[in-house]
């Protein structure tokens, strides 16, 4: 048993176990893109161009927090998909921002010292029969958060965001309910949550808080890992159609066309790292190397547990960020193959942009990402170019000088992406996520 699974077992026992009114057959829930008309963040006054521009600006900010500043006290600045869930007994439905780059489920709570506007009523713990504050002196506070002292009797948390937002409050247990895509409900008792009494922007108004999906012990998938056999997957869309988040047996990715790569290790234990070995455009393969700054030698990872990661899989970042050397070679190869006149990049990232979308999509070459373990993920045209306006398409990749890149959600659109946290693998399978 790995140290991670051993610690998870200890914490699960310490938390008096998570009692589950559920089954092991698997279940799925719906995700809403934040720019969908069904989202509380949807702005009717914005054009599609403004929404695209805002999404990609958020993508740049998020990359800066995930890949460039992987410090545990600084978390990312948001995400792109929302999920409804209920908290408390009787259950109160709220909407949280799904985040594969953080480790805590937190929500705004009464009494509010400072709270931003949200579309649903703010949760009041007094009204929940199953709410229970976690004392500062408890084993849970010490072992889960490493707390050795508190300014009050409650176990307190504080999350600082790279965009100057924050959430502060106390940690507690309560019942969390998920409504499945089949309209049934699954309850998880004694879930570890953060009750935020002091929350400040620029967190986007509308949603209640964040649903952490990372590798840390307090994330949603970590807390329910025993009931879902350590598996979850998603199938994302960039349209008004809802996306799917799957757990347990529903999360298994199987059948023709599935490729699987090991999850790797990186600087921040929260994130889902993989090792990208190369990129092929048309018939040209470009090798991707991970270098170690201390001695400028290539790190030779292997598939037996010590593979070094150079890319984070993240559902909350739109663009795919990749080493500038690789990015430049990708761009020059695509430019050569398309043989079309380019236009200025609206975001000034130096990306290829064109004003004749139909011709671009006809000529777009095959692009394949080669991950460790011979996992070759062939991208569709919609994973490679993204519409900035009805007339303008731009490359959905961006350059970075960091050793660590991000596989963004545009590149993941219309793939089932499945995580097996016990086997430490991630699988990809092409799918129509509007019908999944």
Question: Active-site residue numbers?
Answer: 99, 314
- C-alpha to C-alpha distance for 321 and 80, rounded to whole angstroms: 16
- C-alpha to C-alpha distance for 171 and 156, rounded to whole angstroms: 6
**E strand or H helix at 272, and its extent?**
none
Beta bridge partners of 106: 194, 210
Residue 182 — left, alpha, or beta (φ > 0 → left; ψ -120 to 50 → alpha)?
A: alpha
Total number of residues shown for the chain: 436
**E strand or H helix at 222, and its extent?**
helix 220-223
Residues 28, 244: contact at Cβ < 8 Å?
A: yes
Cα dihedral sign, 426-101-59-93: positive
- C-alpha to C-alpha distance for 115 and 125, rounded to whole angstroms: 15
Cα dihedral sign, 291-292-293-297: negative
Distances (CA, A) of 232 to 77, 221, 299, 416, 417: 23, 8, 30, 10, 9
- Gyration radius of the chain's alpha carbons: 21
- C-alpha to C-alpha distance for 63 and 11, rounded to whole angstroms: 31
Distances (CA, A) of 351 to 332, 346, 354: 10, 9, 10
């Amino acid at each position: 048993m790995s140290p991670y699974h051993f610690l998870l077992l200890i914490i699960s026992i310490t938390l008096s176990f998570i009692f589950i009114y559920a089954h092991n057959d698997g279940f799925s829930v719906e995700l809403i893109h934040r720019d969908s008309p069904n989202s509380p963040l949807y702005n009717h006054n914005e054009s599609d161009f403004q929404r695209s521009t805002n999404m990609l600006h958020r993508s740049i900010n998020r990359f800066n927090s995930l890949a460039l500043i992987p410090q545990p006290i600084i978390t990312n600045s948001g995400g792109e998909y929302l999920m409804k869930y209920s908290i408390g007994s009787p259950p109160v439905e709220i909407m949280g921002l799904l985040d594969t780059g953080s480790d805590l489920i937190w929500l705004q709570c009464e009494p509010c010292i400072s709270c931003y506007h949200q579309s649903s009523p703010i949760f009041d713990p007094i009204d929940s029969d199953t709410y229970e504050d976690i004392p500062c002196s408890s084993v849970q506070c010490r072992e889960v958060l490493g707390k050795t002292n508190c300014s009050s009797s409650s176990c307190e948390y504080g999350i600082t965001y790279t965009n100057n937002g924050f959430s502060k409050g106390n940690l507690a247990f309560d019942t969390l309910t998920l409504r499945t895509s089949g309209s049934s409900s699954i309850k998880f008792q004694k879930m570890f949550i953060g009750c935020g009494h002091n929350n400040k922007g620029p967190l986007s108004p509308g949603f209640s808080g964040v649903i952490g999906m990372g590798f840390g012990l307090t994330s949603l998938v970590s807390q329910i890992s025993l009931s879902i056999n350590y598996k979850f997957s998603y199938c994302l869309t960039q349209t008004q159609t809802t996306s799917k988040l799957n757990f347990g047996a529903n999360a298994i990715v199987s059948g023709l066309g599935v490729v699987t790569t090991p999850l790797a290790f990186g600087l921040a234990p929260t994130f889902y790292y993989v090792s990208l070995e190369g990129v092929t455009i048309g018939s040209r393969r470009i090798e991707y190397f991970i270098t170690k700054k201390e001695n400028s030698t290539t790190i030779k990872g292997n598939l037996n547990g010590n593979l070094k990661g150079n890319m984070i899989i993240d559902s909350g970042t739109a663009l795919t960020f990749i080493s500038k050397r690789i990015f430049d070679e990708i761009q020059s190869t695509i430019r050569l193959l398309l043989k079309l006149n380019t236009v200025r990049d609206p975001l000034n990232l130096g990306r290829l942009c064109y004003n004749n979308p139909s011709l671009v999509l006809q000529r777009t070459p095959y692009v394949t990402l080669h991950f460790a373990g011979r996992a070759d993920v062939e991208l569709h045209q919609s994973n490679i170019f993204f519409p900035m306006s009805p007339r303008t398409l731009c490359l959905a990749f961006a350059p970075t000088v960091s050793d660590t890149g991000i596989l963004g959600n545009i590149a993941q659109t219309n793939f089932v992406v499945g995580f097996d946290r016990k086997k430490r693998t991630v699988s990809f399978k092409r799918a129509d996520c509007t019908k999944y």
